[in-house]
Amino acid sequence: MTEPSSEQQLQAAADAALAQLTAGLPPEAAALALALVLRRSATQLHSLARQRATALRGEPAWPSWAALQNAARGALLQASTCRDLAAKLLSPS
């Protein structure tokens, strides 16, 4: 079994992936790409937190997972707005 990555290692990997995703894109396209990643990340985080909160109901870890689920839901709503606004940059009307 491999050791879990440190927060610093995860941050470096995320930074590298985002740099690769946006490399060479004009600002409008980069904004949309980043907004899409933000929304997908928020969606997956919300789903994970919801599943864990459901599985751990009544356990000591439940409040933390439930709080993360609620925060992720808020992030998901904001990420959806970011995606919609970034998409408008590519097709201004």
Which tens digit of pLDDT belongs to each residue from 60-70?
999 999 999 99
Residue 43 or residue 1, greater confidence: 43
pLDDT for 91 beyond 70: yes
- Global confidence as pTM: 0.87
Residue 1 pLDDT exceeds 50: no
11: phi then psi, degrees, rounded to nearest 5: -65, -45
C-alpha torsion sign, points 73, 75, 50, 41 = positive
